Amino acid sequence: MLESVVAKFTVYILRTNRDTLYIGQTQDLASRLAQHRRHAKGAKYLAYFRSFELVYTEEFATRSAALRREAELKRLSRAEKENVIGLNHDE
C-alpha cells in the first residue's frame, strides 16, 4: 500500500541580532536555515547580520498557500508582526 506524501511548506520569521525581522518560506526549513547561516543562496539581507534566531513558523500543504501567507506577513506593520510572533509563542 502506498502512503500519500504530503508536501510541507514552511513560512518562517527570523529575528536578527539587530532586532530586525526577516520573513521567508521554504520546503526544507533546516536546510534553508543552514543556507542563511552560511550566507549562501539568496537572502543577501541576512548577510549583513552576525546572527539570527528563528522566532516563528507556520506550515502549509502547498507552496501557493505558503507564498500567500508570506506576502500577507510582509504587508503587516512591525507591531502586527510582533503580535503574530507572540501568539505563536503562546501555543
Give residues with Cβ within 8 angstroms of 30, minimum separation 6.
none
> Mean of the pLDDT values across residues 83-88?
87
**CA dihedral for 29, 35, 40, 45, sign (positive or negative):** positive
Q: What is the CATH number of the domain that holds 35?
A: 3.40.1440.10
Mean pLDDT of 25-32: 94
Is 4 a domain residue?
A: no
- H-only helix segments in the chain: 29-38, 63-75, 78-90
Indicate whether 38 pLDDT > 90: no
How many domains are there within the chain?
A: 1
In this structure, is residue 3 part of a structural domain?
no
**Is 2 among the domain residues?**
no
What percent of the chain has a predicted confidence (pLDDT) above 70?
A: 86
The mean of the pLDDT values for the chain is 87
Flag whether 17 is in a domain: yes
Residue 33 maps to a domain: yes
Phi/psi for 80 (5° steps) reads -65, -40
pTM: 0.86
Mean pLDDT lowest among 3-7, 15-19, 42-46, 85-89: 3-7
Residues 82, 14 contacting (CB under 8 angstroms) = no
Q: Which residue has the higher pLDDT, 66 or 35?
A: 66
Q: Which is more confidently placed, 85 or 47?
A: 85
Can you give the pLDDT at residue 45?
Answer: 81
